[in-house]
Amino acid sequence: MKQVTLGRTGIVTEKNAFGALPIQRVTREYAAMLLRKAFDAGITFFDTARSYSDSEEKIGFALSDVREKLILATKTPSTTAEGFWKDLETSLSLLKTDYIDIYQFHNPSFCPKPGDGTGLYEAMLEAREQGKIRFIGLTNHRLNVAEEAVRSGLYDTLQFPFC
């Protein structure tokens, strides 16, 4: 498989990844079979989100025994620092891991920055200092927010939909 470097993380992984949104629609056992099949076929980058109902739990169930061989990315939709910490702890628990490789703000209506009054970016920095996340990312469907995130230089990755 072709490999790519994810943003400025230095993480090199297969260009193909497993997006976990659809596994919320299937049983835990079927999801586990799909996840293991993907892993056995060489997929090591798995992307999910707190908003994808039980997908984090299914990934933890299916892949926790091979955690050291995976790149895990998940997202928080929270707009408060308190919500951020709750989401992060829930994700860590459900994914059965003590760290997340790329933790992302999930499609916010603005670009979180230090000093913006939300405490969100500061929470990301603290989580990274604590070793709970390795890299800070942002996903967005709004071109202006995505461009602002890139210009800010604050983010290690940007996930943006395009064809």
Local confidence band at 163 (pLDDT 50, 70, 90 cut-offs): low
Rounded average pLDDT over 80-107: 98
**What are the φ and ψ backbone dihedral angles of 134, each rounded to 5 degrees?**
-100, -40
Rounded average pLDDT over 99-106: 98
Sign of dihedral through CA atoms 59, 62, 67, 71?
negative
* Number of structural domains the chain divides into: 1
**What are the φ and ψ backbone dihedral angles of 18, each rounded to 5 degrees?**
-105, 110
Residue 146 lies in a domain: no
Residue 147 lies in a domain: no
Q: What is the pLDDT of residue 24?
A: 94
State the Cα–Cα distance between residues 146 and 152, nearest whole angstrom.
Answer: 10
Is the pLDDT at 145 greater than 90? The verdict is yes
Residue 64's SS3 state is helix
Whole domain around residue 28: which residue ranges?
3-141+152-159
120-129 and 81-95 helices cross at what angle (nearest 10)?
40
Do 62 and 35 touch, CB atoms closer than 8 A?
A: yes
Residue 7's SS3 state is coil
Among residues 52, 103, 121, 155, the one annotated as catalytic is 52
Long-range contacts of 35-41 (CB under 8 A, 24+ apart): 35/59, 35/62, 35/63, 36/62, 36/63, 39/63, 39/66, 39/69, 39/70
For the entire predicted model, the pTM comes to: 0.96
Tokens of 109: 């209506």
Is the pLDDT at 135 greater than 80? The verdict is yes
78: domain CATH number is 3.20.20.100
Nearest in space to 111 (alpha carbons), one of 148, 80, 136? 148
Rounded average pLDDT over 24-50: 97
Average pLDDT along the chain: 97
Is the pLDDT at 17 greater than 90? The verdict is yes
Do 67 and 82 touch, CB atoms closer than 8 A?
A: no
Local confidence band at 75 (pLDDT 50, 70, 90 cut-offs): very high
Residue 124 lies in a domain: yes
**Does the active-site annotation cover 30?**
no
State the Cα–Cα distance between residues 61 and 22, nearest whole angstrom.
Answer: 16
